Amino acid sequence: MLVLVRHGETEANAARLLLGRAQSPLTERGVAQAKALSRLLGPVARVVSSPLARARDSAAALGLDVPVEIDDRWIEVDYGEYDGQPLGSVPAEVWRRWRADPGFRPAGGESLADMGARVRAACDELFAADGAGARGAADVVVVSHVSPIKAAVAWALGTGDALAWRLYLSTASMTVIGWGSDAPVLHAYNLTAEALDRR
């Protein structure tokens, strides 16, 4: 299985800021979230992380006895001039353009289409390397961010990058994609230890 983990809560998340490539440390809650998520994981063969500190710190908090591989393709989308800004400060016209056109690129940033292309390439590589003949084998865990994980779900479902706008993804959540015989299969989306504890 491919297990996609979104990093734990950061100071910027708690302040409702748009967080792309900017660095923002995990909150105490974020560290606790990542630690709690580890109990939902089975045997793990590989751990891959975005290079950003919040992802690497979340990978460390999972407490897995596996070396963490860094893959730049799992970095968050670049929000350009809006990175680190309050969500409400992004002009309505910009939000409209962003939602209507996956090729829209904010000034100094990256488009959803470009981000989706790099994530699909990473997913294809993992599928080829770990999916073939790996039924029942240990999981591959990727610790990343909201936009790349949504892009991976779009890859699994065979849909376009605009799907991202129709998905909500919690911090410290787990999304599971299975290795099908000839295509990926979405098994679970947006699982959190906090939500399961409330049941």
For 101, residues 6+ apart whose C-beta sits below 8 A from its C-beta are none
Closest CA to 153 of 119, 121, 127: 119
Q: What is the mean pLDDT of residues 164-188?
A: 93
Q: What is the mean pLDDT of residues 128-144?
A: 74
For residue 152, with 0-12 CB atoms within 10 Å meaning exposed, 13-18 middle and 19 or more buried, which class applies? buried
Task: Point out the least confidently predicted range of 145-154, 159-168, 186-195.
Answer: 186-195
Reported as a single tens digit per residue, the pLDDT across 36-86 is 999 999 899 999 999 999 999 999 999 999 999 999 999 999 999 999 999
Question: What is the pLDDT at residue 182?
Answer: 83
Question: What is the pLDDT at residue 133?
Answer: 45
Domain containing residue 32: 2-197
Q: What three-state secondary structure class fits 183? A: coil
Catalytic, out of 7, 9, 110, 145? 7
| CA 192/CA 1 separation, integer angstroms | 17
Task: Point out the least confidently predicted range of 20-24, 133-137, 179-183.
Answer: 133-137
76 is known as an active-site residue? yes
- Number of domains comprising the chain: 1
Question: What CATH number is associated with residue 99?
Answer: 3.40.50.1240
Catalytic, out of 9, 28, 76, 93? 76
7 is known as an active-site residue? yes
